[in-house]
């Protein structure tokens, strides 16, 4: 990696405007931003330079580790394959989701999330990875074993985010039995009798465990400085509970009422980028674009399609009158970075990490041309 690199003839996307000019990198940091074309440096042909994307919520790694039901791939190979797609999508900082506690839908056994965490750590230590990886613990608080799983990660230095979720029927994402029936009964092919027993069991677990487990996990996160997220909040009571727990990130609220209350309380409201690309929620909840138009969308997550993060930002800048490209890019860079306390990245500014993406906006789908992390070309 050269000590100094210059890019010129670039459209540089800052937090508040786009500068046509040149950018200099020195020792992995942004050293200078200048207007006008320089006689020196690499000519990027008028492409955009944007900050490296910051992804807070993706379970994309699971698909590489378990590509088919019952199949388990080599954990380090799975991490590398996931990382390659992440980096090629312009994501330079990723929070890999690991599920704590079984919601009876994942099919992962005891210890498998530990194995993935160890693979991430090993791959980073051996410099196998392109992106910077952190861990996001997705805690199913209604599961009997969630604290047992969570305890293994209490002192894990790569854990920077934890979310509290309850997927029991009648809770949050599944406010109506119609949604729950489609997601579980139809998907699993259960008979009416089997589904009735399944629902009763999940509701009993939620009533028995959720409140206690939420309190334990939230308390630890506050003490350890781990950012806390709520998941699928639907009502003002849910938002009030999140405020009391010290939640900073409201993931996938299922009503505009809950999203607005979370945003007004100072939480970052996160929605899925695939929701933007598809034009709506796959589970029948609110459309992310509606929140964007209402000014109450703060963060986008690629969730299960890494490239959707960049794609969605350009869609919003094209289709929502009040959102210019700098504001759209902030949804996938500056705001997620600030929400989890990563103040060294997420914006193009002197002194910040040279995490950069060269993007060509061609037609309806942008193209990632190059990606740098701390000044080093990684894709």
Residue corresponding to tokens 């909040």: 233
182, pLDDT greater than 60? no
Residues 6+ apart with CB under 8 A from 147: 213, 216, 217
Strands 4-13 and 42-43: parallel
Give the chain's domain count: 1
pLDDT, position 372: 98
Mean pLDDT (whole number) for 3-31: 96
Residue 97 structural domain: 51-346
366 inside domain? no
Mean pLDDT (whole number) for 191-215: 83
341-361: per-residue pLDDT in tens? Answer: 999 999 999 999 999 999 999
Between the alpha carbon of residue 33 and those of residues 7, 27, 376, the distances in Å are 10, 15, 18
Question: What band does 206 get if pLDDT is binned at 50, 70 and 90?
Answer: confident
Return the higher-pLDDT residue of 188 and 50: 50
Question: What band does 204 get if pLDDT is binned at 50, 70 and 90?
Answer: confident
63-106: per-residue pLDDT in tens? Answer: 999 999 889 999 999 999 999 999 999 999 999 999 999 755 55
Write the CATH number for 68: 3.20.20.140
Question: What band does 140 get if pLDDT is binned at 50, 70 and 90?
Answer: very high
Question: What band does 280 get if pLDDT is binned at 50, 70 and 90?
Answer: confident
pLDDT, position 292: 97
Mean pLDDT (whole number) for 355-371: 96
Question: What band does 174 get if pLDDT is binned at 50, 70 and 90?
Answer: low
pLDDT, position 150: 96
Count CB atoms within 10 A of the CB of residue 45. Answer: 11
222 inside domain? yes
Q: At what angle do helices 236-245 and 192-224 cross, to 10 degrees?
A: 30
Q: What span, in angstroms and rounded, lies between the C-alpha atoms of 210 and 197?
A: 19
Question: What band does 187 get if pLDDT is binned at 50, 70 and 90?
Answer: low
Closest Cα partner for 376 from 23, 27, 91, 10? 27
DSSP bridge pairs for 33: 23
Question: What band does 195 get if pLDDT is binned at 50, 70 and 90?
Answer: confident
pLDDT, position 197: 77
pLDDT, position 171: 56
pLDDT, position 282: 59
215 inside domain? yes
207 inside domain? yes
358 inside domain? no
Closest Cα partner for 258 from 286, 278, 283? 286
307 inside domain? yes
pLDDT, position 362: 83
Mean pLDDT (whole number) for 205-209: 88
pLDDT, position 341: 97
Question: What band does 281 get if pLDDT is binned at 50, 70 and 90?
Answer: confident
Question: What band does 148 get if pLDDT is binned at 50, 70 and 90?
Answer: very high
pLDDT > 90 in the chain, percent: 79
pLDDT, position 172: 55
The answer to which of 99-108, 283-292, 300-309 has the lowest mean pLDDT is: 99-108
Mean pLDDT (whole number) for 311-334: 98
27-70: per-residue pLDDT in tens? Answer: 999 999 999 888 789 999 999 999 999 999 999 999 999 999 88
pLDDT, position 12: 98
Return the higher-pLDDT residue of 337 and 280: 337
pLDDT, position 198: 74
161 inside domain? yes
Question: What band does 261 get if pLDDT is binned at 50, 70 and 90?
Answer: very high
368 inside domain? no
Q: Are 333 and 352 in contact (CB under 8 A)?
A: no
Q: At what angle do helices 75-88 and 112-125 cross, to 10 degrees?
A: 60
């Amino acid at each position: 990696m050269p000590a100094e690199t210059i890019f010129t003839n670039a459209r540089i996307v800052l937090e508040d405007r786009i500068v046509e000019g040149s950018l200099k990198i020195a020792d992995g940091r942004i050293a200078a931003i200048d207007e006008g074309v320089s006689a020196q440096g690499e000519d990027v042909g008028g492409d955009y330079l944007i900050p490296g994307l910051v992804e807070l919520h993706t379970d994309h790694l699971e698909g590489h580790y378990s590509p088919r039901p019952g199949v388990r791939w080599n954990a380090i190979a799975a991490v590398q394959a996931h990382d390659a797609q992440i980096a090629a999508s312009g994501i330079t900082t990723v929070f890999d989701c690991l599920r704590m506690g079984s919601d009876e839908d994942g099919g992962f056994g005891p210890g498998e999330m530990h194995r993935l965490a160890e693979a991430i750590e090993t791959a980073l230590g051996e410099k196998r990875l392109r992106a910077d990886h952190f861990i996001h613990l997705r805690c199913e608080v209604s599961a009997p074993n969630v604290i047992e799983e969570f305890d293994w990660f209490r002192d894990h230095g790569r854990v920077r985010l934890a979310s509290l979720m309850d997927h029991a029927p009648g809770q949050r994402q599944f406010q109506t039995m119609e949604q729950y029936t489609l997601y579980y009964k139809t998907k699993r092919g259960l008979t009416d009798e089997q589904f009735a027993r399944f629902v009763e069991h999940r509701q009993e677990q939620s009533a028995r465990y959720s409140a206690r487990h939420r309190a334990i996990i939230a308390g630890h996160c506050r003490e350890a400085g781990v950012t806390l997220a709520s998941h699928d909040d639907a009502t003002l009571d849910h938002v009030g509970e999140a405020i009391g727990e010290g939640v900073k990130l409201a993931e996938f609220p299922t009503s505009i009422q809950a999203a607005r209350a979370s945003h007004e309380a100072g939480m970052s409201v996160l929605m899925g980028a695939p929701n933007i690309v598809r034009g709506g929620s796959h589970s029948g909840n609110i459309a992310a674009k509606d929140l964007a138009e209402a000014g109450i969308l703060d963060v986008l997550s690629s969730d299960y399609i890494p490239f959707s993060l960049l794609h969605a930002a350009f869609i919003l800048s094209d289709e929502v009158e009040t959102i210019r490209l700098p504001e759209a890019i902030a949804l996938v860079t500056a705001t997620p970075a600030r929400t989890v306390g990563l103040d060294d990245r997420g914006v193009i500014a002197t002194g910040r990490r040279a995490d950069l993406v060269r993007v060509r906006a061609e037609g309806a789908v942008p193209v990632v041309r190059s990606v740098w992390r701390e000044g080093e070309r990684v894709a």
